[in-house]
Amino acid sequence: MKVKKEKMTSADRVMLAMGLDEPDRVPVGCLPLTIGARMAGVAVDKYALDAKLIAKGQLVFYEKFGVDFLCPMSDIAMAAEAWGTKTKFVKTSTPYTVEYAVKKPEDWEKIDKISASEWWEEAGRIPLVLEAQDIIIDKVESTVPVIGFLVSPITLASWIGGLDRVSIDMIRAPDLLHRALRVLTESMIEMAKALYDNGICVCYMVCTRATRDIYTLEQYMEFGTPYDLKLIEGVKHFMVLMGHVCGREPFLEILAPLYSFVGINFWDRGSKYDIAFAKRKYGRMTPVIGGVDQTRTLLYGTPEEVEAECLDAIRKAAPGGGFILAPGCELSLETPDENIAAMVNAARKYGTYPLDEKILGGA
């Protein structure tokens, strides 16, 4: 049964946008990772190690700004820790890896599969993510989507062994790297099962290495795509995936037609491909998620400049539906509250369907 637009929840709104449809208005959201510490009123090092604080930060963020989805986690090092990486925690910035688990090619043979039950119990800080999700879901019930995250196996390998190690071993030890990628794929499928058991049915799939900034298309088609597709195939009967890719030249030409994503989030304001290109080229097969620059406009601009950028994105990508207004990547810890509010308010002010012809006339 079709949801009446005047009664839509955030969950309805996001669901319709992911289905290439028009909801009541353009959904708006972001990845508020370490900024959650500021929302919770604690230092980042404390926030990143406490599930209750992660949940609190996300809920305060939601209540303060009224975004249409939440994604509780604190930093990308959380997943790699499951294989023994070491993380540095500091008070005022994102936790970061200081020691990789894979230091030489032979170490890829030590990468073991992690089962769904192990993700719950002993896989680095991922149990904190699961606990935080559980707290948030109890609070927001089914009205606001709580989104999980999975990681492309080649991206995860670069977090476990470092980008240099992976790039060298593509050439010098491809068999060992392929063996590890198979195990990481299986582990991500198991992580998806743990997320699903926790009530999560939508995930970002982080594909930050799927860009020409790092690899050639041929390299990615050998070491990235086969494992990405196996992961997608392994979870498709219980999980839907939104892609997240960084870089100035993301491989949109394979991510959009091949990956069956229900949305692709990329840094369009810093990319070779702007939001208008992505919508025109791929918008009939994959919803577009983006339009706002988290590195400049949101971080250093005025609320008026944020609003103008959001309006520009809505003009270019919202017609016909299948669009979620969002930054191209996670919010900086220092992003001003008034700029986040300006982004959310712009979706409400300009993004109501049917779109105002006067607004579209500025495109």
Q: What is the pLDDT of residues 223-274, one digit of tens each?
A: 999 999 999 999 999 999 999 999 999 999 999 999 999 999 999 999 999 9
**pLDDT, mean of residues 9-21:** 96
| The pLDDT of residue 358 is above 90 | no
Q: 150 falls in which pLDDT band (50, 70, 90)?
A: very high
Structure-block tokens of residue 314: 């809505």
In DSSP terms, 87 is beta-bridged to 97
Q: What is the pLDDT of residues 51-94, one digit of tens each?
A: 999 999 999 999 999 999 999 999 999 999 999 999 999 999 99
Here the CATH number for the domain that contains residue 273 is: 3.20.20.210
Confidence at residue 1, expressed as pLDDT on a 0 to 100 scale: 41
What are the CA-CA distances from residue 200 to residues 8, 16, 114, 188, 220 (Å)? 20, 18, 19, 14, 29
What are the CA-CA distances from residue 202 to residues 14, 149, 160, 266 (Å)? 11, 8, 24, 17
Q: 357 falls in which pLDDT band (50, 70, 90)?
A: confident
- Summarize the chain as % helix, strand, coil (round to 5): 50, 10, 35
Q: What is the chain's mean pLDDT, rounded?
A: 95
Confidence at residue 26, expressed as pLDDT on a 0 to 100 scale: 98
**pLDDT, mean of residues 93-107:** 97
For the chain, the domain total comes to 1
Q: Which domain does 292 fall in, by range?
A: 5-360
In DSSP terms, 203 is beta-bridged to 148, 241
| The pLDDT of residue 359 is above 80 | no
How much is the pTM?
A: 0.95
Q: Which of 95-109, 112-126, 168-182 has the lowest mean pLDDT?
A: 112-126
- Cα–Cα distance, 6 to 221 (Å, whole number): 45
Phi, psi at 120, each rounded to 5°: -75, -30
Q: What is the pLDDT of residues 324-355, one digit of tens each?
A: 999 999 999 999 999 999 999 999 999 999 99
| The pLDDT of residue 46 is above 80 | yes
Phi, psi at 283, each rounded to 5°: -65, -20
Instruction: Quickly list DSSP for 230-268.
Output: HHHHHHTTT-EEEEEE-SSSB-HHHHHHHS--S-EEE-G
- Tell me which residue of 248, 241, 205 sits closest to 224, measured CA to CA: 205
